Amino acid sequence: MKKFAILGLTAALLSTVVAQTQPGTIVEVAAANSSFATLVAAVKAGDLVGTLSGAGPFTVFAPTNEAFAKLPAGTVETLLKPENKAALVKVLTYHVVSGNVMAADVVGLNRKKVKTVQGGDLTVFVLNKNVYLLDESKRLTKVIATDVKASNGVVHVINQVLLPK
């Protein structure tokens, strides 16, 4: 069943992009798909809409609503509070890498660290033709869909929220 959900998510993302003559920004692409409602709400709460709608290019490792739901109860609600904006921005910018890094490029980074916009590192692993990211909290996150193009970069969908130190 999980494989069908991933295929459905990928098809929905690609149909969103294909339906547009010119793909929208990363924020517009994410907002057009209900699987990213939590991510979009977080981007808005962190005042990052303008940044992630900017020229870029950016590579975003985008957690789905299901990925956010895996966090301990109350975590998302706590991060979305105005007084926790700095922590939210730290988490969100940890999901962004400067440049336009396509899936073929990510595969070539096996066992290498990539610097995030937040300043922390992610380690890329390629195992059995799947790409995983090891965050600074030592959690392995799987990339479940790749190369969703936006006018200012690319989105790769992940199954967990990446956590910096």
Interval 49-94: pLDDT, tens: 999 999 989 999 999 999 999 999 999 999 999 999 999 999 999 9
Instruction: Report how many domains make up the chain.
Output: 1
Enclosing domain of residue 96: 2-158
Residue 137 lies in a domain: yes
Vertex 70: Cα angle to 77 and 138 (nearest 5): 110
Residue 139 lies in a domain: yes
The predicted pLDDT at position 20 comes to 47
Classify 62 as helix, strand or coil. strand
Residue 15 lies in a domain: yes
Residue 44 pLDDT > 70: yes
Can you give the CATH number for the domain in which 6 is found?
2.30.180.10
End-to-end Cα distance, the chain: 33
Residue 163 lies in a domain: no
What is the rounded distance in angstroms from the CA atom of residue 105 to the CA atom of residue 42?
28
Interval 114-152: pLDDT, tens: 999 999 999 999 998 899 999 999 999 999 999 999 999
Closest CA to 78 of 42, 49, 44: 42
CB half-sphere exposure, 97, CA atoms < 13 A: 21
pTM for this entry: 0.86
